C-alpha cells in the first residue's frame, strides 16, 4: 500500500462512515441538492458545511494586499480555533471535515481525535498541517475509502497538467459567534462576519452565492455537504417510525456501496472474459470468436438504439 494519501469520492455515505471509523459519534454528512437557507435550517442541528469546487486562480486568489477576495483574514483566530495548512494534495476532503468536527465542542469526536486536537493545540497552522499529514490513523482511515487501482502504481504521483481540472474541499463553520471559511491552502482562517447557529444558514448561503458568482456562467461543478447530527437519533427521539426506517435503508445502501468501493473486481472480470473466450475458441475456433464479437457489437448497438428511441418518445 502507498504511504501517501489517495483520492476518495465526494459522497455522503463515504464521509459518514469515514468519520465514524475515526471514532466520531452521532454525526453524519448529507448532500444538499440545492443552495437554500430553508433546506439548511431543516437539518438543524447543523454543525457546518463542506464545499467542493473547481479550483481556479481567478476565483480563489487573494486581492491585492493582504485580504482574500471575500471576507478578511483573522490571524488571531488561529489561537482559539482549529486551523491547519494543507500539506498533502489528496487530503483536502478529510481535512475540511476535521475542520468542522474539531471546532464544534458539542460533537463527541472520540478519544483519538480528542488526543490529536489537544496535542496540536499549541502548534501554528503549518505544524498542525504537518502533524495531520503524518497521522497514521487519519491517513489509513482516509485511504480505506479509496477505490482500488490495480493498473496504476499509486507510488507514482501523476503530475497535473495545465488542462487538468483540480477540485478542492473547504469548510464553513460558525465558531465563537463568527462564520469562518477554513481552507488549508489559505494562510489564515477567513472571517465572514458575525454568525450564530441560528443565522448560519442564511449567512453561509450568501457567502457561497458570491463565491459561485465568481465563476463563468454555466459552471455547475460544485458540491455541498452538510455536517449534521445523526438523523436516526433525532427520528428515534420523536418516534418517527417511518422516517427511521428510511434512514436505516439509506444506511444499509451506504454500507453496501462502500463495501463495493473497496473491492477490486478487475481479476474477476478478467477471469470471466478469459473463460468465455476460451470456450468460444475451443468450440468454434478463431472464426467463431470473430463471429461472437460481431454479434455482441450488433446486440449492443440495437440496445442502445432502442434506449434512445424510448428516450425520444418520453
Give the tens place of pLDDT for each residue, 263-290: 655 555 556 666 666 776 777 777 776 7
pLDDT at 312: 53
DSSP class of residue 216 equals P
92 catalytic residue (yes or no)? yes
What is the average pLDDT score of the chain?
85
Give the span between the Cα atoms of 32 and 297, in whole angstroms. 40
Look at residue 154 and tell me whether its pLDDT is greater than 60: no
Give me the CATH topology for the region 12-229: Ubiquitin C-terminal Hydrolase UCH-l3 (3.40.532)
Give the span between the Cα atoms of 207 and 199, in whole angstroms. 13
Among candidate residues 92, 142, 188, 192, the one labeled active-site is 92
Among candidate residues 85, 168, 188, 192, the one labeled active-site is 168
Q: Is there a contact between 45 and 198 (Cβ–Cβ < 8 Å)?
A: no
pLDDT at 274: 66
Domain boundaries, the chain: 12-229, 267-314
Q: Is there a contact between 172 and 30 (Cβ–Cβ < 8 Å)?
A: no
Measured torsion, CA atoms of residues 151, 163, 96, 181, in degrees rounded to the nearest 10: 180
Question: For cell 439548511, what's the residue?
Answer: 40
State the DSSP string of 59-91. HHSPPSSS--SSSEE-GGGGGTS------SGGG
| pLDDT tens-place string over residues 97-121 | 999 999 999 999 999 999 999 999 9
Per-residue confidence at 135, pLDDT binned at 50, 70, 90? very high
Per-residue confidence at 167, pLDDT binned at 50, 70, 90? confident
Tell me the mean pLDDT in the region 47-71: 79
pLDDT above 70 coverage of the chain, percent: 82
C-alpha cell at 58: 481567478
pLDDT above 90 coverage of the chain, percent: 62
168 catalytic residue (yes or no)? yes
Amino acid at each position: 500500500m502507498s504511504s501517501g494519501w489517495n483520492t476518495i469520492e465526494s459522497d455522503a455515505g463515504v464521509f459518514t462512515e469515514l468519520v465514524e471509523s475515526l471514532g466520531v459519534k452521532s454525526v453524519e454528512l448529507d448532500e444538499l441538492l440545492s443552495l437554500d437557507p430553508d433546506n439548511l435550517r431543516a437539518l438543524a442541528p447543523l454543525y457546518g458545511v463542506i464545499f467542493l469546487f473547481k479550483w481556479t486562480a481567478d476565483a480563489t486568489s487573494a486581492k491585492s494586499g493582504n485580504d482574500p477576495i471575500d471576507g478578511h483574514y483573522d490571524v488571531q483566530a488561529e489561537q482559539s480555533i482549529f486551523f491547519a495548512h494543507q500539506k498533502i494534495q489528496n487530503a483536502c476532503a478529510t481535512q475540511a471535515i476535521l475542520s468542522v468536527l474539531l471546532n464544534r465542542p458539542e460533537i463527541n469526536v472520540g478519544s483519538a481525535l480528542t488526543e490529536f486536537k489537544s496535542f496540536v493545540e499549541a502548534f501554528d497552522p503549518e505544524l498542525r498541517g504537518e502533524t495531520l499529514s503524518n497521522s497514521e490513523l487519519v491517513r489509513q482511515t482516509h485511504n480505506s475509502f479509496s477505490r482500488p487501482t490495480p493498473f496504476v502504481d499509486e507510488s507514482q504521483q501523476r503530475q497535473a497538467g495545465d488542462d487538468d481540472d483540480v477540485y478542492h474541499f473547504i469548510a464553513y463553520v460558525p465558531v465563537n459567534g463568527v462564520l469562518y471559511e477554513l481552507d488549508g491552502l489559505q494562510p489564515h482562517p477567513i472571517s465572514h462576519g458575525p454568525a450564530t447557529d441560528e443565522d448560519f444558514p442564511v449567512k453561509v448561503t450568501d457567502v457561497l452565492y458570491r463565491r459561485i458568482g465568481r465563476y463563468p456562467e454555466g459552471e455547475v461543478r460544485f458540491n455541498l455537504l452538510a455536517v449534521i447530527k445523526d438523523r436516526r437519533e433525532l427520528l428515534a427521539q420523536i418516534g418517527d417510525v417511518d422516517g427511521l426506517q428510511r434512514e436505516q435503508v439509506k444506511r444499509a445502501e451506504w454500507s453496501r456501496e462502500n463495501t463495493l468501493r473497496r473491492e477490486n473486481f478487475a481479476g474477476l472480470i478478467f477471469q470471466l472474459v478469459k473463460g468465455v473466450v476460451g470456450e468460444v475458441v475451443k468450440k468454434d475456433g478463431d472464426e467463431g470468436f470473430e463471429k461472437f464479437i460481431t454479434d455482441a457489437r450488433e446486440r449492443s448497438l440495437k440496445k442502445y438504439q432502442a434506449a434512445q428511441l424510448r428516450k425520444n418518445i418520453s
